[in-house]
Chain A
């Protein structure tokens, strides 16, 4: 679904500097957008605002035909159906891979679980706990958990920052394959231009003023 952000304004508290001042953006359905920028320019904040985790932003956010935020309205994060893969994945440490993925499903089904395990190449690892997985496997588990909720939009925060550089090439290919197979509109933020060039259909450069 198409994502449209219009005239976004945001600051963390009334005395802080504005992070966004009239920012607008649109991402077409099925498109992968990479937001590129240095530390502190507001990349991750943008994802948090889109997802609804930051509640004090002003402006309008629309996904498809649904308005999630405007002057009068704020749809809470849990009602937005937006998938978010966090920088450190935030896998629930006391749950196995299978339990983590099932947590994302509205109606847990074995069939969907198997499809996701297949898609993310996690077969055979279902009973492992997050700390028993490699960085790449953890990332794929987080992605599978997010896809399990069948989100209208996928957000990814620095998807490769926690991984060894020698693994990144292969993981980029995996990630692109999975996202494209799901035809899901995606916004990812990164500070690495190579990641953005490889994965994205469109790149936006943010800079701290």
Chain B
């Protein structure tokens, strides 16, 4: 008989799985740091916040979330239903154009609309020149209602995308059945479509909610006290770390509770037809006036959400072009691309490893792994920022003797004053975006190709690299683009965690806008929007199989 080899001795857990869990623990360190450092004892600082800021912060956040969900939900569902259920002229163009407003970060839309509607803005000037007397308060956007408008026109694509693809792919039989049974459009919508789209709608609404709770740029510019701005203010403005951590902890618990409630409410009800049984929907042709009415509606909306603000920014950018230091702009663009690409590549690499390992795990452990991988995305940027700083300061404290071993004059906060901290925070915050693309792609191809390669003598990981990754190329590119768009648009983490004097496009827009130099802010803002729009166009081409990726 052949002698036992050490490498063949039975093992309970593989190194691959252990590594995956280690990665998950590392990316959740900021959240662990907040939980471990929260202090519930009452002190003067906390009492002060509770008395003067907390109520406003809670009620404003609640108002913004509630009304943004309502308005963006109406816009998203309306356009998703129109595009999925009906055929009209130029539909193929419009169904992609409706994604484009997502390329405008809410804080940029806020600066532009506030500028356009101000006393010296184009709207009031035009009205004055035409002799129309508008009361300034009618056009005041820098308030809660204005913020709801800004969030809704820039964030509705999350809902539109989720609901549209669900309706297009799953609801054919059910909608046809209801039509055969004589349901008129309004009854059909209320009785069949609305209950059907519940899952994608809630998924989209949750994303919008997270963006609103996370936002710092709009509320800071409009001077609205929210939970997010209070956390920033308490930590970075007043140095009240205890208060910031305690507030972060409460927000985190609320979000986890909301997600839990949604899962419980969903219960055993089934909203998705088993795979293979859902039939794509056959759209009804809108003839004559109805078709043109839809075109006018979408064009008007895209005008408000994209063409007008971008057009205004172009005019401002031309006016301010000579004032903007272009050589400096090159450096800023380079800085931005560096951290965006670094974070995106890292996110994809970690996601590939975790999703690959997940496939051989028991269902429960796999589910826990998925939830933990995505936890960071459900946390507002302020919480991630607070947690990341806490972790990096602690790591720097631990590693300081090592720094001094190599360089006796080394400063104490080496990692926390480098780009590493910013990249890490993005990985924590946006792991979920890449994970969804990568995990669903791995789930789609299953393990059969990996199994086949292993029977031919190569290990699991090598099989993944040589066989599965080439097959997942388009999903990986999709994951890359989606993550890249989110990172390039992000403001609070960039603003707070970037190294000293490390300027980025987002931080430059924020700085110009806060100095009331809106015209100059338009140049970096337009670069962000152009890069995001390019990424969205690339995404559309990949989805429609025109991205130059061979599909075998």
Contacts and interface: CB of A to CB of B under 8 A. Distances in A.
B448 A65 contact: no
Interface string B442-465: 000000110111111111100000
Of B1, B457, B459, the most chain A CB neighbours within 10 A belong to: B457
Contacts of A88: 448
Given A78-B457, A93-B552, A145-B456, A53 B4 contact: no
A130 B452 CA distance: 15
Contacts of A130: 552
A60 to B, nearest CB: 11
A64 to B, nearest CB: 9
Interface string A100-121: 0001101000000000000000
Contacts of A86: 448, 451-452
Contacts of A133: none
Nearest to B450: A90
A73 B4 contact: yes
Interface string B524-552: 00000000000000000000000000101
B467 A74 contact: no
A103 B456 CA distance: 8
B470 A94 contact: yes
Nearest to A87: B448
B8 A92 contact: no
Interface bin, chain A: 20 to 34
B449 A53 contact: no
Contacts of B460: 78
Nearest to A142: B452
Given A75-B8, A93-B552, A13 B452 contact: no
A149 B467 contact: no
A74 B459 CA distance: 15
A73 B449 contact: no
A74 B458 contact: no
B359 to A, nearest CB: 13
A132 B190 CA distance: 47
A51 B451 CA distance: 10
Contacts of A78: 454-455, 457-460
Contacts, number: 74
A145 B9 CA distance: 29
A95 B161 CA distance: 34
A78 to B, nearest CB: 5
Contacts of B362: 13
A67 interface: yes
Contacts of B2: 65-67
B287 interface: no
Of A13, A51, A83, A94, the most chain B CB neighbours within 10 A belong to: A94
Interface in B1-29: 1-2, 4, 8-10
Contacts of B9: 72-74
A88 B447 CA distance: 12
B552 A94 contact: yes
Interface in A139-172: 145-146, 149
Contacts of A67: 1-2
Nearest to B4: A73
A76 interface: yes
Given A67-B1, A72-B4, A92-B449, A77 B552 contact: no
A84 B453 CA distance: 10
A131 interface: yes
Contact of A90 (B10, B451, B457): B451
A129 B552 contact: yes
A81 interface: yes
B448 A90 contact: yes
Contacts of B178: none
B471 interface: yes
Contact of A73 (B10, B454, B455): B10
A149 B10 contact: no
A72 B10 contact: yes
A79 to B, nearest CB: 7
B10 A77 contact: no
A75 B452 CA distance: 17
Given A92-B449, A92-B467, A74 B10 contact: yes
A82 interface: yes
A77 B460 CA distance: 10
Of B1, B452, B455, the most chain A CB neighbours within 10 A belong to: B455
A147 to B, nearest CB: 11
A95 B107 CA distance: 47
Interface in B22-69: none
A86 B8 CA distance: 25
Interface string A176-195: 00000000000000000000
A81 B342 CA distance: 40
A72 B8 CA distance: 9
Contacts of A84: 451-452, 455
A104 B9 CA distance: 26
Contacts of A104: 456
Return the 4 tightest CB-CB contacts between A and B, nearest first: A90-B452, A84-B455, A90-B448, A77-B454
Interface of A: 13, 51, 53, 65-67, 72-84, 86, 88, 90, 92-94, 103-104, 106, 129-131, 145-146, 149
26 contacts: A53-B454, A53-B455, A66-B2, A74-B8, A74-B9, A75-B8, A76-B8, A78-B455, A78-B459, A79-B457, A80-B455, A82-B455, A84-B451, A88-B448, A90-B451, A92-B452, A92-B467, A93-B552, A94-B470, A94-B471, A104-B456, A106-B457, A129-B552, A130-B552, A145-B456, A149-B456
Given A78-B457, A149-B457, 14 more contacts: A53-B454, A74-B9, A74-B10, A77-B454, A78-B460, A79-B8, A84-B452, A90-B449, A92-B449, A92-B452, A92-B453, A92-B467, A94-B470, A94-B471
